[in-house]
Amino acid sequence: MCKPGPFVGAVLAAALWICGGCAEVCDECLDIHVDPINLCSQGLDCIDNLCIREGGNLPGECCRSEAECNFAGSCVNDTQCERFGGNLQGEGCSEGGAQCHEDLLCIYQTCEYSPIFPPTKELTQQTGESFTLDQDTLIILPENSSDTDDTAGQILKDQISASCGLDLTVRPYTEGDPPENSIVVGTPTSNPAVQPLLDTHSLTIPDEGPLPAENFAIKIAPSQILVAGRGDPGSLYGAQALKQYIRGMIPGNPLHELPAVTARDYPDMEQRMFLVILVHYYFPHPQVQQGITDGYKYMDIPFSLGSAYEYLHIMSELRYNIAILKMGDVVAWQNLPQPQNVAISVSDYLDLVREANDYGLETIPLINGSAAHNGWIATVEEPIEYTEEYAVSHYAEHWAIYSALVQEIIQAYDGVQPLRYFHAGMDEDFTFGPRPIDYHLNWVDNTYSLITSNNIKMVVWFDCWTATDWFINQGHLYPDMHVAVWDYYTPISELAKNRIVQILDRDLEVSLTLWGNGTPADFDWWFSLQDPLQKGGIGLNWVYPTACTDMTDPVFEETVNTYMRTSAHLFWNAEHLD
């Protein structure tokens, strides 16, 4: 059971007032992972003293009947929504874990006592004080605003419009600012109005953590709201946190009053990444299980450009700083010889990269070069048989395609975003693929040479379920490679931990890739290593072909959002998890 924190008493009282007089909520909502300050907000209505989400409650939320459970959920014991087939990790489950998805250990999420997510490390409330939003409220940005400053102003303007129906003015700093009834955004150096407000409120921006520029402080006072970043990224993250606070506190409050709070925050991990699957392929599993291979590979998740933008926006709100874009054949690259399923142009893709950058996200392109991903064509409706031209095992012909494609992608980034990393995949060769070890090593060597010749780090998967240990045991040296160790267990397996230490000993960067797993004890271990080559974590969602129809399907969206939120919390607060 979650234990209320020191802040929850006042917050819960405020939350019950905000939702329009809810006198009671069911214990199950508090005991699992519903946010007490957020009861009956964020799209939930108070009906008969229960918080009900329009369209159905999510797993772990209260319910009274099957009709109140969202998507593929059912009501268990008339109190709690469970997902058919078993809940995912972090969702509520019945005793003994019997309702857990795919035999995974059921973990109750830590209760969140703030509408800001991931929860800030410091959050204090000034009882009895509030700031009132009205049509005259100004949003004041730096005089020479950056793209992320402009994004910060726009997301606050849009959220206030959505929550309050107000169309606020966003303008740059002018001499004499800040006036009363204003929201000031920026850094002490970019916006001259910031430092005087920091001094007035005896507020400091944290200097801890691996990337101080991402640190921020928020002050909501009766006369002004201050969003102060140590750098431009911190200003953006602070604006995203304020956006969440507005979204969580305004509904049900016709006066548009924001209870006064002070928040200070910083990330624990340097690189907080999430894999955005623009397109994903799978083998026909029933045939693989029967030992039959037909040479086809099918598209799992049909592409939606609108959904891709939406996921980038969610990632920014959850304070990720890197988006890995897994492309497959979704982009019409000139050197990609499979135009049948192309969804977007190169220009479309680069616009997506620019949008990510504006939202504070660096992007990493991913084109998998391993044998299990031996092509990027065909759909279930129109399967196309692979020829040797596309087969990774036919080394020379395929290398000509792959190397030209990688080089084209690198060149396309020129002038759009400095490209620090290129993700080349390289997992699963020995589990699924036909490629012999010497072909595999030759391929990795050549890919590494190609990518590093462009002054870019090569990223590879290290899937601990396979035998991809070439850079540990085969004597091949790859300075400056970034290795993403992917483990499936909860807690993370000792095998993965041992290999992380081995990789660090080879002076290679390491990130910890999570599939909804990871515990506070795992991160205690991670930080105990105290190695500068530990760069961060990658969150991902792996959706099987039976789970959804495309990127806009509600089940797919719900699953992606769940995994995004879980990993965001772990990565941002990894060293401070209870």
CB 113, CB 4: distance < 8 Å? yes
Q: Which DSSP string do the residues of 441-483 spell out, in sequence order? A: HHHHHHHHHHHHTTT-EEEEEEETTTT--HHHHS----TT-EE
Is the same domain home to 292 and 182? Answer: no
Average pLDDT over residues 281-294: 46
| Residues near 211 by beta carbon (within 8 Å), at least 6 away in sequence | 233, 267, 270, 321
Residue 457 resides in a domain: yes
Residue 65 has pLDDT above 70, yes or no: no
Residue 515 has pLDDT above 50, yes or no: yes
Average pLDDT over residues 284-306: 54
Average pLDDT over residues 379-387: 42
4-8, 162-166, 521-525: least confidently modelled range:
4-8
CATH of the domain at 567: 3.20.20.80
pLDDT at res. 14: 29
Is the same domain home to 471 and 557? Answer: yes
Confidence class for position 36, pLDDT limits 50, 70, 90:
very low
Which of 219, 248, 265 is the last residue before a domain boundary?
Answer: 265
Residue 153 has pLDDT above 90, yes or no: yes
Residue 114 resides in a domain: no
pLDDT at res. 486: 85
156-165, 210-219, 330-339, 352-361: least confidently modelled range:
330-339
**Most trustworthy range by pLDDT among 10-19, 25-34, 177-186:** 177-186
560's enclosing H/E stretch is helix 554-572
pLDDT at res. 434: 55
| Residues near 6 by beta carbon (within 8 Å), at least 6 away in sequence | none
**pLDDT, tens digit (0-9, with 9 covering 90-100), for 162-188:** 999 999 999 999 999 999 999 999 999
Q: Dihedral through CA 399, CA 402, CA 408, CA 409, nearest 10?
A: -150
pLDDT at res. 544: 46
Burial of 387 (0-12, 13-18, 19+ CB in 10 A): exposed
CATH of the domain at 232: 3.30.379.10
Residue 136 resides in a domain: yes
Distance separating alpha carbons of residues 163 and 166, to the nearest angstrom: 8
Distance separating alpha carbons of residues 408 and 393, to the nearest angstrom: 22
Residue 346 resides in a domain: yes
pLDDT at res. 56: 60
Distance separating alpha carbons of residues 184 and 178, to the nearest angstrom: 7
Is the same domain home to 343 and 482? Answer: yes
Which 3 state secondary structure label does DSSP give 286? helix
Distance separating alpha carbons of residues 89 and 87, to the nearest angstrom: 7
Whole-angstrom CA distances from 570 to 78, 319, 431, 531 are 31, 11, 30, 19
Residue 70 resides in a domain: yes
pLDDT averaged over every residue in the chain: 76
Residue 117 resides in a domain: no
Is the same domain home to 158 and 279? Answer: no
Burial of 65 (0-12, 13-18, 19+ CB in 10 A): exposed
Average pLDDT over residues 314-323: 97
**pLDDT, tens digit (0-9, with 9 covering 90-100), for 393-425:** 456 767 777 888 899 999 999 999 999 999 998
Residue 21 has pLDDT above 50, yes or no: no
pLDDT at res. 294: 44
pLDDT at res. 86: 54
Distance separating alpha carbons of residues 165 and 250, to the nearest angstrom: 11
Is the same domain home to 225 and 333? Answer: no
Confidence class for position 133, pLDDT limits 50, 70, 90:
very high
86 against 471, higher pLDDT: 471
Is the same domain home to 85 and 141? Answer: no
In the numeric block, which tokens belong to residue 536? 């961060």
Residue 101 has pLDDT above 70, yes or no: no
Range of the domain at 189: 122-265
pLDDT at res. 175: 95
pLDDT at res. 178: 92
pLDDT at res. 78: 58
Is the same domain home to 257 and 276? Answer: no
Is the same domain home to 328 and 445? Answer: yes
Is the same domain home to 160 and 279? Answer: no
Which of 246, 265, 284 is the last residue before a domain boundary?
Answer: 265
Residue 383 resides in a domain: yes
Which of 265, 297, 313 is the last residue before a domain boundary?
Answer: 265
34-48, 55-69, 342-356, 563-577: least confidently modelled range:
34-48
- Cβ neighbours, 10 Å, residue 337: 15
Distance separating alpha carbons of residues 283 and 564, to the nearest angstrom: 25
Chain center to CA of 499: 25
β-partners of residue 366 are: 326, 423
Distance separating alpha carbons of residues 206 and 215, to the nearest angstrom: 6
297 against 537, higher pLDDT: 537
Whether a cis peptide bond, with omega within 30° of 0, leads into 178 is yes
CB 150, CB 190: distance < 8 Å? no
pLDDT at res. 519: 82
Is the same domain home to 309 and 204? Answer: no
Residue 24 has pLDDT above 80, yes or no: no
Is the same domain home to 74 and 89? Answer: yes
Q: Tell which residue, 281, 291, 271, 261, has the closest CA to residue 209.
A: 271
pLDDT at res. 423: 96
Residue 338 resides in a domain: yes
Per the structure, the count of domains in the chain is 3
Is the same domain home to 258 and 279? Answer: no
| Residues near 390 by beta carbon (within 8 Å), at least 6 away in sequence | 337, 338, 374, 375, 377, 398, 401
Average pLDDT over residues 134-142: 98
pLDDT at res. 502: 86
pLDDT at res. 111: 27
Residue 262 has pLDDT above 70, yes or no: yes
pLDDT at res. 245: 92
